[in-house]
């Protein structure tokens, strides 16, 4: 039976130690994206990051701690990679540009890997229950940036007062994640494009409806 080594609190790490931990996390995140969680061993991480096994145990405790660090890293990375767009999703033009960005990423990657953060869910949540809160927070934060933009559009009158920004954000985010899975499975970025276009067409249609008379 595997014995877990307690992880040292991050507050005790020096600046150099924090940099080392970050480097190990980034290497592990890349390997797990390329090979899958099950296909990435600690030995793989040792070799790629150029560290010893003792450093892994010092910074993460064990593979469980490393996996959780990767989940948290990918949650932030997923949001930051589209932050210039996601922080201003308050117009139909911005929403279309955001959607196009995700399609172009898949084209550049030849549809390999899907969503670096979302693809971890099915691999990790059932075997690492402690990560569920990290996934939930990550998705809610990412989805919240979409909802904020839609709320601004509603408040400005671009969407009707009856539009629910949170519900619309869920549908658009579901189109993104579902489209990414289909695109990955069939190696066809057009599937993601169709999913996002359909969701956006619905949102735009709300603005074209004649409001009910009071």
Residue span of the structural domain in which 57 resides: 10-71
User: 83-118 burial, b for 16+ CB within 10 Å, e for fewer?
Assistant: eebbeebbeeebbeebbeebbebbeeeebeebbbbb
Q: Are residues 42 and 106 in the same domain?
A: no
Among 71, 103, 119, identify where a domain stops.
71
Q: Are residues 80 and 36 in the same domain?
A: no
Residue 2's pLDDT is 41
Q: Are residues 110 and 180 in the same domain?
A: yes
Q: How many domains does the chain have?
A: 2
The token pair that represents 83 in the structure block: 């932050």
User: What are the Cα distances from residue 112, in Å, to 37, 119, 185?
Assistant: 15, 11, 9
Q: Are residues 67 and 80 in the same domain?
A: no
Within a domain: 119 = yes
The predicted model scores a pTM of 0.80
Q: Are residues 26 and 52 in the same domain?
A: yes
Which phi and psi angles does 70 have, rounded to 5°?
-65, -40
Find the distance separating the first CA and the last CA of the chain, reported in whole Å. Answer: 68
Q: Are residues 20 and 58 in the same domain?
A: yes
Q: Are residues 66 and 81 in the same domain?
A: no
Q: Please report, for the domain that includes residue 32, its CATH number.
A: 1.10.10.60
DSSP state of 116: T
Within a domain: 4 = no
Sign of the Cα pseudo-torsion (62, 65, 70, 71, in order): positive
Q: What percent of the chain has pLDDT over 70?
A: 88
Q: How many CB atoms lie within 10 A of CB 135?
A: 20
Q: Are residues 97 and 166 in the same domain?
A: yes
pLDDT tens, 121-160? 989 988 888 899 999 998 998 899 899 999 999 999 999 9
Within a domain: 213 = no
Q: Are residues 109 and 62 in the same domain?
A: no
Residue 80's pLDDT is 73
Within a domain: 2 = no
Q: How far apart are CA 60 and CA 76, in angstroms?
A: 18
pLDDT tens, 24-67? 999 999 999 999 999 999 999 999 999 998 998 899 998 899 99
Within a domain: 19 = yes
Q: Are residues 131 and 193 in the same domain?
A: yes
Within a domain: 3 = no
Q: Please report, for the domain that includes residue 176, its CATH number.
A: 1.10.357.10
Q: How far apart are CA 62 and CA 43, in angstroms?
A: 12
Among 38, 55, 71, identify where a domain stops.
71
The token pair that represents 182 in the structure block: 């289909």
Among 71, 96, 121, identify where a domain stops.
71
Q: Are residues 97 and 156 in the same domain?
A: yes
Q: How far apart are CA 75 and CA 116, in angstroms?
A: 9
Q: Are residues 83 and 149 in the same domain?
A: yes
| Residue 104 pLDDT exceeds 70 | yes
Q: What percent of the chain has pLDDT over 90?
A: 66
């Amino acid at each position: 039976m595997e014995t877990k080594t307690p992880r040292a609190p991050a507050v005790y790490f020096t600046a150099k130690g924090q940099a080392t931990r970050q480097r190990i996390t980034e290497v592990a995140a890349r390997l797990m994206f390329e090979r899958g969680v099950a296909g990435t061993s600690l030995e793989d991480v040792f070799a790629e990051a150029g560290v010893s096994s003792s450093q892994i145990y010092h910074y993460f405790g064990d593979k469980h701690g490393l996996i959780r660090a990767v989940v948290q890293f990918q949650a932030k990375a997923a949001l930051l990679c589209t932050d210039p767009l996601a922080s201003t999703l308050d117009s139909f033009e911005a929403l279309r540009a955001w959607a196009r960005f995700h399609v172009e990423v898949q084209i550049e990657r030849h549809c390999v890997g899907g969503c670096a953060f979302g693809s971890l869910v099915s691999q990790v949540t059932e075997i690492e229950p402690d990560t569920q809160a990290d996934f939930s927070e990550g998705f809610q934060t990412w989805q919240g940036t979409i909802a904020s933009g839609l709320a601004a559009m509603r408040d400005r009158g671009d969407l009707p007062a009856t539009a629910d920004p949170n519900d619309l954000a869920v549908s658009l985010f579901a189109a993104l994640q579902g489209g990414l899975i289909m695109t990955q499975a069939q190696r066809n970025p057009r599937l993601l494009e169709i999913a996002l276009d359909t969701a956006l067409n619905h949102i735009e249609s709300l603005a074209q409806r004649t409001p009910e008379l009071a």
